[in-house]
Structure 1
Amino acid sequence: MLELFNKWLILIAIFFFSCESGTANPVREKQTEEVPSPSLCTPNPSKQAIKVFNYLYEIQGEKTLSATMANVNWNVNEAEWVYRHTGKYPAINGFDYMHLYTSPCNWIDYTNTIVIENWWKQRGLVSASWHWNVPKTQGNTTEYAFYAPGKGQGQAETNFNAGKAIQEGSYEYKILMADLNQIAYCLQQLQKKKIPVLWRPLHEAAGGWFWWGAKGPEVYKALWALMFKTFREKGLDNLIWIWTSEGNDSDWYPGDEYVDIIGRDIYNQKEVLNLEFEYCRLTENYPGKIIILSECGGVSKISEQWNAGAKWTYFMPWYDYERTNNTLDADFSMTGHNYADKEWWEDAWKQDFVVSRDELPSMK
């Protein structure tokens, strides 16, 4: 009788242990299966885009990917500078279609994707933005700019009207659609190579300094939707869409159906609690979305941000034009940097949660 009683005690203990651990709880297993998986807003996304997105989704709060930005042109100069001084390559290299209006030309051809192909073959991930240059004035074919009137701070400005650009038949609409068709063609060259792109267009709109944000949130959102629709019709399936918030600007958000990742650009902010505040605000305003530090410079070290709770899924310091404009110049050997110097990067590499290129899984 005592032996039977002991067996019952053992069975009861096993049952309660299973409920606590979840190892044999059919109710809990069913609940797990019912949780919807994250999905890209691009219809029928490529296998590679899905792999990149799922990886970013899975590492949230556990890991952060390192990134660098091309020095204006089609290059990986900043990534090479980081490697020269620290021995590691960042996981992501950012590119910019800034000079689309001149491409192809003898100094830049965005349809020549060799530099991106080589980065991708070495397991590096690819991001791309677009400082969208348009004619300074109507009919102008020699002068281009992306700053809105009064916002250039000494740089070229354009009176290009975003409101008119979304109106079929207008001069601005013709320019807009020609540019969208051209950049779609460039992105299709990467699609053919099965290279996914972390696509970050129309950034920092609420700041008002670029023409695409100069006419308010409703025009901006219509412009974003037009771009998304155009690319969908072109069959682009390799894009992961990133919207850049300027902080308290929810009126400018294009909508979940158009955005996969939320970015934030932050400069000259050493107070780590302010960085943590920005991160938390985005996680609260856009629950379920991946949150990244899409541009940064002169900010607290990544270790400090992470420990404070700002657990960006990736971070990208901006480029220092003089430092990395030419990898053969003496400047390239110097360890100082306008936005993230050698010491800043060395701190990043010491953290187990910071991922370098060699630590990435294959996304092919």
Structure 2
Amino acid sequence: MKIIEIEFIIEKQKYYDLYLNHTPLNQFSKTHVFINNLAFGEIQFPQGETHSYIGELKLKPGKYSFKINLPQEDFKIISLEIKEKDYSTTKITNYKIRPNLSDNAKRLLEFLQKIYSKYIIAGQHTNTALGPEIAYIEYFTGKKPALRGFDLLSYTPAVRTQDMTPHALIEIEGNKGSIEKAIEWAKDLGGIITLCWHWYAPLGGKDKTFYTVNTDFNLEEALLNGTEENKTLLRDIEIIAEKLSILRDLDIPILWRPLHEADGKWFWWGAKGPENYKKLYMLLYEIFTEKYRLNNLIWIWNAPHPEWKIEKDLYDIAGIDHYAPPGNYGPMKFSYDLLLRLTDNEKLVALTENGPIPDPDLLFEYEAYFLWFMPWFGDFVFNENFNSKEHFKKVYNHEKVITLENLKNLTHLFLSC
């Protein structure tokens, strides 16, 4: 991918809006931007547009380098436009807690609302019930994440598929028992949990069938009453609802991230486009909230694309998944700005998946107020090219990072105010 660099000089410490004037693209595109070689996240280019908003930056006087990965080879930048302004417009306003949530779910959302812009929660995804990432982080930092991510990938019947690789089999077996571990994390340790679901295609395929390329499962057909696809789709939804009911009955709130990254289309639930994704999201929402009364779920919309927007009364938090280059701890500010624009500045936002953890100093310097970060499992923790031990130590001992060790005290402080 071709990279273009533009240098500019700032003379006054102010807020600035950045725009690109460019040649039009024949399809929606997105790409990554770097300021002074730090990862500033994702920007999007609507089809046919020639003037695109990048985001807002609070800049000090000095010389800056703006680098962009060109979304297409024939894409040409005409100019970088920088407009001064007196105050930030990238703040959450008019946030409302969705009605009919359990008291504990409301309490967690109230806590998240109150820490917004003041702290960031340390999160860690664990693909297996054992979660060796937690012990590894604690060994080097002396602390645990406050938020632990779990996956429901092993909980539906069609996980045994053709041509399974050892990696897939080990992943499925290791994932079993995640519900019990999630209960332990919440009840015994007092932590927060988030759940995603790598949904193995209900009618199977090859190897990891949550990937579009490994299954011919047709979501369009699955949304038609009475088809075999529909019957197995509903079967899986009911099974997961029963599992989530266990957590509801224990009054454990869940940060629930369903149908993640649908806009990328690499998962079957996004392969048939935004309208079918929205129908599936709505079906899932209706069954979970109306039939099963899963009022402990805090819903996270995680398909940050203007054509894939979900109605705002159907989710509580917007999330973006962004993987910066290994060892780049930039603040992802443009990804943060993008989420705010897509939600009209009315939703709390989170970095729901990442590789390198953004440097907390940079997050607060550039006012990228994500609620939490969430490195993916495995190498993103164990391989120092992604996150070094020294970086983990800095992050987990930062005064504005919430770990399991200070979660209880901060919860009491903010909710007793």
State TM-score, norm by structure 2: 0.67
Q: Are 1:317 and 1:339, in contact at CA under 8 Å, matched by a contact in 2?
A: no
Q: Does residue 149 of structure 2 align to residue 82 of structure 1?
A: no
Task: Point out where structure 1 has 5 or more consecutive residues left out of the alignment.
Answer: 1-34, 150-156, 324-334
Residue 117 of structure 1, CA deviation: 2.3
Deviations 1:111-167 (A, max 9, x none): 774322221121100100000101565xx6x96611112xxxxxxx11111111111
Q: Does residue 210 of structure 2 align to residue 146 of structure 1?
A: yes
Q: 1:103 to 1:67 in 2, by over 3 A?
A: farther
Q: Are 1:136 and 1:144, in contact at CA under 8 Å, matched by a contact in 2?
A: no
* Rounded Cα–Cα distance in structure 2 between residues aligned with 1:345 and 1:288: 32
Deviations 1:25-70 (A, max 9, x none): xxxxxxxxxx977212xx5211111111110111111111000011
Q: Does residue 110 of structure 2 align to residue 54 of structure 1?
A: yes
**Where does residue 232 of structure 2 map in the other structure?**
175
Q: 1:99 to 1:112 in 2, by over 3 A?
A: closer
**Where does residue 77 of structure 2 map in the other structure?**
none
Q: Are 2:122 and 2:396, in contact at CA under 8 Å, matched by a contact in 1?
A: no
Aligned pair partner of 1:115 in 181, 193, 203 = 181
Q: Are 2:211 and 2:267, in contact at CA under 8 Å, matched by a contact in 1?
A: yes
Which structure would you say has the larger Rg?
A: 1
**Where does residue 244 of structure 2 map in the other structure?**
187
Aligned AA for 1:117?
I
* Rounded Cα–Cα distance in structure 1 between residues aligned with 2:379 and 2:329: 25
Q: Does residue 215 of structure 2 align to residue 158 of structure 1?
A: yes
Residue 206 of structure 1, CA deviation: 0.7
Q: Give the SS at the match of 2:370.
A: coil
Q: Does residue 255 of structure 2 align to residue 198 of structure 1?
A: yes
Aligned AA for 1:219?
N
Residue 194 of structure 1, CA deviation: 1.2
Residue 281 of structure 1, CA deviation: 1.9
**Where does residue 101 of structure 1 map in the other structure?**
156
* Rounded Cα–Cα distance in structure 2 between residues aligned with 1:310 and 1:132: 31
* Rounded Cα–Cα distance in structure 2 between residues aligned with 1:336 and 1:109: 21
Q: Give the SS at the match of 1:128.
A: strand
**Where does residue 17 of structure 1 map in the other structure?**
none
* Rounded Cα–Cα distance in structure 2 between residues aligned with 1:260 and 1:145: 29
Residue 77 of structure 1, CA deviation: 2.3
**Where does residue 146 of structure 2 map in the other structure?**
91
Q: Are 1:103 and 1:109, in contact at CA under 8 Å, matched by a contact in 2?
A: no
Q: Does residue 369 of structure 2 align to residue 302 of structure 1?
A: no
**Where does residue 68 of structure 1 map in the other structure?**
124
Q: Does residue 199 of structure 2 align to residue 132 of structure 1?
A: yes
Aligned pair partner of 2:292 in 234, 249, 261 = 234
Residue 245 of structure 1, CA deviation: 3.3
Q: Are 1:160 and 1:211, in contact at CA under 8 Å, matched by a contact in 2?
A: yes
RMSD: 2.8
Q: Are 1:319 and 1:339, in contact at CA under 8 Å, matched by a contact in 2?
A: no
Residue 300 of structure 1, CA deviation: 4.1
Residue 73 of structure 1, CA deviation: 2.0
Aligned AA for 2:108?
V
**Where does residue 218 of structure 1 map in the other structure?**
275
Aligned AA for 1:358?
E
Q: Are 2:128 and 2:176, in contact at CA under 8 Å, matched by a contact in 1?
A: no
State TM-score, norm by structure 1: 0.76
Task: Point out where structure 2 has 5 or more consecutive residues left out of the alignment.
Answer: 1-92, 161-171
Aligned AA for 1:115?
K
Residue 83 of structure 1, CA deviation: 0.7
* Rounded Cα–Cα distance in structure 2 between residues aligned with 1:227 and 1:356: 32
**Percent of counterpart pairs with the same letter?**
30
* Rounded Cα–Cα distance in structure 1 between residues aligned with 2:108 and 2:383: 32
* Rounded Cα–Cα distance in structure 1 between residues aligned with 2:276 and 2:113: 30
Q: Give the SS at the match of 1:145.
A: coil
Q: Give the SS at the match of 2:285.
A: helix
**Where does residue 390 of structure 2 map in the other structure?**
343
Residue 203 of structure 1, CA deviation: 0.5
Q: 1:231 to 1:338 in 2, by over 3 A?
A: farther
Q: 1:198 to 1:300 in 2, by over 3 A?
A: closer
Q: Give the SS at the match of 1:262.
A: strand
Q: Give the SS at the match of 1:169.
A: coil
Aligned AA for 2:133?
E
* Rounded Cα–Cα distance in structure 1 between residues aligned with 2:390 and 2:182: 28
Q: Give the SS at the match of 1:78.
A: helix
Q: 1:48 to 1:219 in 2, by over 3 A?
A: same
* Rounded Cα–Cα distance in structure 1 between residues aligned with 2:372 and 2:347: 13
Q: Give the SS at the match of 2:100.
A: coil
Q: Does residue 372 of structure 2 align to residue 314 of structure 1?
A: yes
Q: Are 1:89 and 1:358, in contact at CA under 8 Å, matched by a contact in 2?
A: yes
Residue 265 of structure 1, CA deviation: 0.5
Q: 1:110 to 1:189 in 2, by over 3 A?
A: farther
**Where does residue 21 of structure 2 map in the other structure?**
none
Deviations 1:212-263 (A, max 9, x none): 00111111001000000010111111100001134xx121011111110000
Q: Are 1:297 and 1:338, in contact at CA under 8 Å, matched by a contact in 2?
A: no
Residue 172 of structure 1, CA deviation: 1.2
**Where does residue 265 of structure 1 map in the other structure?**
321
Residue 338 of structure 1, CA deviation: 5.7
Q: Are 1:296 and 1:316, in contact at CA under 8 Å, matched by a contact in 2?
A: yes
